[in-house]
Structure 1
């Protein structure tokens, strides 16, 4: 089994319990651990995989809370740094359908620095997941992203990239987001995007054509999450929609992270040189199930469960 290395932010999500209100009106909040790459690492570990999280938190109560959460999930925290900058925070309000409104208060995550002499040890026998919402903004974290991505690419490690676009983070800087995303994407074997992200990166509103554009950049495998419809899976030879499971969503925070965490858990045990479309479609289907279960709970990690439990869970597929 390969280890899954996730680099980026871990933060506190303050999720409004005043469902149906926006952040202007919300008054009550629940503290939940979050951060896209940390969510992925927790999912992989909970399913039974070997996951590492590399990032920075503040030397404060929030940082201590986050580290304890990773330990509880079984994530390796050897590369978690404590810094003097306060822990990054996010404030989230929920609409009636579970969709979200975000505001970020960026802090410690930007200070994560991965020395070159530690990169080879961290990435030994690994799949590298680059799925941070904040890494492409710059600072030390972006430099560490580049260091890890270039090392993994040069040494032919399997790389997964999720751009994790957040409009609040990229106001007036969309061209920078696209440029840096394409830089990462050019080194990736596997790319996970939303419909919005695919359109931003390719200029294509048609999913199949957008995927063809990314394949032309060298990406082997692409998953496009399409909400309640499931996931569009594309390789250089096949394309199809893998249906979602029928659920009643409570909170969609972390849905994409748990999806890709479940897929990466399965890829970590696969022969990556001989993946078939059928195998990949099966991995995506299980990812849809894990994601669906997570959406039935408040917070991105609350609904995570082990592999045997998720396999045995009887969930009906959603029909058109």
Structure 2
């Protein structure tokens, strides 16, 4: 499915003056840094093994009592400051690790941000959550339901990862990223281009937390040991991720009328270094055009892309006027891609994660 195609393409697009435009960005990672050496001390692994297979040297973990909403609030505050406006008409939170199974975490985040009674809700698409949230926020703006939307993607992934499973414990980490979107024109810097989204529920068990939902709670059977933790089929996921991210990227570029040579920066979901390299190779995008922070922050789930954008803008690796291709893959299975031209934004402080 492609969202927001230009009218010239012969399919419905956003109204001329209600196109979603990014006007603020912010990111946050919790202060506790966990290095490879810290993990080697308790797992059957090595720094070389982790770096070679994932590209990760360090990551940030939440401390006791810290939840997804705490990360989301911090990123939201930074995005609102960057937008130079504390008022929005709606809050969309993309997360796989809500504070509670019920209720949604979005309303709590909106309340803590002092946003009054604005509509707020969660979107769940695992690591593709930001792109699904981007399409949702764009729909709110295009329909006239909101003029400004705060989109936050936040995950405390370490709360669902088995700390003794080296295949996942070395990869996943915690963090949040956020953008503020306003109604504008398609030719403005920051305007979100066509968004391509897809899913394949027949392969849902490739990435899953088997226990804890209504499927297991509706039976008298006790969950198997470890079923309360995140599980994934690594090799199969690698193939699916590379294929889906490449295809959706090509579709988004075609819908936007861009060529691969037009892309100044590729902002992929920071799954692991091997997937990033394979996708970039298939798209023929050289390393100088790839944004990456996986070495410093690991895989932060739905937060990955907006955190990457915030940190890259702060460091100068992402500059106003550059054409950006976004792409992600996650559980569901879900995937997606989008294009945008990076705007000139206000301050977007993020902690030093070097």
- TM-score bracket, normalised by the shorter chain, equals 0.3 to 0.5
The TM-score with structure 2 as length reference comes to 0.33
Highest RCO, 1 vs 2 (Cα 8 Å, sep ≥ 6): 2
Computing the radius of gyration from Cα coordinates, the structure with the larger value is 2
